[in-house]
Amino acid sequence: MTIFERSSEGRSAYTLPDEESYGFAPEENLPDHLLRKDKASLPECSELDVVRHYTSLAGKNHSVDKGFYPLGSCTMKYNPKLNEKTASLEGFAYLHPYQPISTLQGSLELMYKLDKLLCEITGMDSFSLQPAAGAHGELLGMLIVKKHFEKLGDSNRAKVIVPDSAHGTNPASAVMAGYEIVEVKSSSDGIVDLNELEELLDESVAAIMLTNPNTLGLFEKHICEIAERAHQKGILLYYDGANLNAIMGKIKPGEMGFDIVHLNLHKTFSTPHGMGGPGSGPVGVKKSLADLLPVPRVEEADGKFTLNEDYPDSVGRMRSFFGNFGVLVRAYTYISLMGAQGLRHASEMAVLNANYLKSLLTRMIPEGYPGVCKHEFVLDGGKLVSEYGIKTLDLAKRMLDYGVHPPTVYFPLIVNEALMIEPPETESKEALDSYAEIVKKILQEARDDVEMVKTAPHNVGTRRLNEALASRQLKTRWQKESAT
Ligand SMILES: Cc1ncc(COP(=O)(O)O)c(C=O)c1O
């Protein structure tokens, strides 16, 4: 039931002070031309109606707190509740960015220390916390690449190399920064084909963007050779850190030879995300590129924190004020709570869970690429079509009826009918077993009643949408005419 359907004329959840106790009627302060002529068509509900409305809306949304959420590439981590507690401390939650610096010292200190922690975790020398998402970080990274070559007076570097397995934001960000994309193919074992890459490396290339482990969940084991060969030609190596959660505490991108990295705090460092934000995509660089980072930069001298704008080579400002500050508080809390050992353990559990679930699921659906994976793996759904008469999408939709979230589907593009599965590190063996059981049941259902699977979901709020139509004629609000 929508809030409009709960509405009853004259019911209300608020009271305004009357003229007598207030001294004047509130609308007296508004100029005439701003006053409504007609009554606003808003629902008229009691406080309890409103509470029930939002509680029911929240229940409709799938979340990590509600159920299993192995959405590959998205790292739907459990978000410890302590993160929320610190982010809602009054001193953080009620800050105003225009407050005098002397009253922002605690927040600046948190940003300064988070920068140092991220340097330690990644092996980089300096971070900017401004970018509001991974893709935003990538754009900053590419602008830094651009500025680097501008400073060197090298105007021939027009290309950025991106693997065919890369997340779509990588080429998009490089194009936004003005680069031409050159795709490098993956080899049959799912990692960058070194020979093919070698052919592409010359003085027209500005950067190589790599994710490690890559989006197939496979570690780019030739990374040191790639870095060496790139650097020999003056090419910068960019690390898409969206998958850092598989290797934290084990190996640092800085030690693999990367010059620039972005991290997704909303994934690896456990701050809530989904449905578009808010996120945070800090960018870290090696010392030689540090002067190009955005301003203002938080600095410390004699125990006092300041904002320094005095970096003439900086690419400028990437975002208003200090980025998504609440996300920074949550990430700082998570890192402090976990400590070095805890972070390493989280990576180990992510890899263990992925390999365990992979071993269960590959008994039913073939793997996209062979071998031990890192925190996620990709299955080849071709067999679903040939043996069960269903598509990957049908399996995914039917999973919703079982109260679990489907994997990412049809990505990466290089795997047929791809299912990309990333079980969070906090899931128990029972949860993983139960997910595999659900897949088994659905495959049996496909044998018994294929139409039922092809028309799923059946038990959730919305039936299967025509996705093309839904994305072109998006209905984001309730309209009276359509209420029946
Ligand atoms: C490998 C990879 N790179 C980059 C991104 C982009 O990050 P964001 O969604 O925060 O912009 C994602 C997001 O899923 C990703 O998985």
Q: In this predicted model, what pLDDT tens digit does every residue of 303-316 receive, in sequence order?
A: 999 999 999 999 99
Q: Within a domain: residue 453?
A: yes
Residues 316 and 359 in one domain: no
Taken in order 337, 335, 325, 307, the sign of the CA dihedral is positive
Q: Within a domain: residue 238?
A: yes
Residues 220 and 352 in one domain: no
Other beta carbons within 10 Å of 184: 22
C-alpha 36 to ligand 1 mean position (Å): 44
Half-sphere exposure of 437 (CA within 13 A, CB side): 8
Question: Where would I find the beta strands (DSSP E) of 320-428?
Answer: 377-379, 408-409, 419-421
Last residue of a domain, one of 321, 337, 353: 337
Residues 117 and 146 in one domain: yes
Last residue of a domain, one of 337, 371, 405: 337
3-class state of residue 378 by DSSP: strand
Residue nearest to atom 6 of ligand 1 (CA): 134
Tokens of 110: 């948190």
C-alpha 318 to ligand 1 mean position (Å): 18
Last residue of a domain, one of 314, 337, 360: 337
Query: Is the full-model pTM beyond 0.75?
Result: yes
Which ligand 1 atom is nearest residue 73's CA? 16
Nearest to 382 by CA among 415, 350, 420: 415
pLDDT in tens, the chain (484 residues): 889 989 999 999 988 777 777 776 666 678 888 888 898 889 999 999 999 999 998 888 888 999 999 999 999 999 999 999 999 999 999 999 899 999 999 999 999 999 999 999 999 999 999 999 999 999 999 999 999 999 999 999 999 999 999 999 999 999 999 999 999 999 999 999 999 999 999 999 999 999 999 999 999 999 999 999 999 999 999 999 999 999 999 999 999 999 999 999 999 999 888 766 689 999 999 999 999 999 999 999 999 999 999 999 999 999 999 899 999 999 999 999 999 999 999 999 999 999 999 999 999 999 999 999 999 999 999 999 999 999 999 999 999 999 999 999 999 999 999 999 999 999 999 999 999 999 999 999 999 999 999 999 999 988 898 889 988 988 887 777 654 4
Any ligand 1 atom below 6 A from CB of 134 = yes
For residue 289, what is the DSSP state? Answer: G
Tokens of 271: 């701050």
Which ligand 1 atom is nearest residue 264's CA? 10
What CATH code is carried by the domain that includes residue 323?
3.40.640.10
Distance CA 327, CA 269 (A): 9
Residues 333 and 365 in one domain: no
Which ligand 1 atom is nearest residue 166's CA? 1
C-alpha 79 to ligand 1 mean position (Å): 18
Burial of 181 (0-12, 13-18, 19+ CB in 10 A): middle
Residues 270 and 381 in one domain: no
Q: What angle do CA 481, 58, 71 make, to 5 degrees?
A: 110
3-class state of residue 483 by DSSP: coil
What CATH code is carried by the domain that includes residue 435?
3.90.1150.10
C-alpha 266 to ligand 1 mean position (Å): 10
For ligand 1, pick from 169, 212, 318 the residue to mutate: most ligand atoms within 8 Å of CB: 169
Residues 379 and 304 in one domain: no
Residues 44 and 175 in one domain: no
Tokens of 45: 């509900």
Residues 134 and 268 in one domain: yes
What's the total number of domains in the chain? 3
Nearest to 209 by CA among 138, 157, 291, 264: 138
pLDDT of residue 23: 72
Any ligand 1 atom below 6 A from CB of 167 = yes
Residues 119 and 164 in one domain: yes
For residue 244, what is the DSSP state? Answer: G
Q: Within a domain: residue 70?
A: no
Q: What angle do CA 131, 287, 113 make, to 5 degrees?
A: 55
Q: Within a domain: residue 152?
A: yes
pLDDT of residue 277: 66
Residue nearest to atom 12 of ligand 1 (CA): 242
Q: Within a domain: residue 159?
A: yes
Which residue range is the domain that position 135 belongs to?
Answer: 82-337
Q: Within a domain: residue 69?
A: no
Q: Within a domain: residue 72?
A: no
Nearest to 374 by CA among 422, 427, 326: 422
Residues 317 and 358 in one domain: no
Q: Within a domain: residue 71?
A: no
Distance CA 70, CA 96 (A): 37
Any ligand 1 atom below 6 A from CB of 281 = yes
Residues 117 and 139 in one domain: yes
Distance CA 57, CA 246 (A): 33
Residues 396 and 422 in one domain: yes
C-alpha 279 to ligand 1 mean position (Å): 10
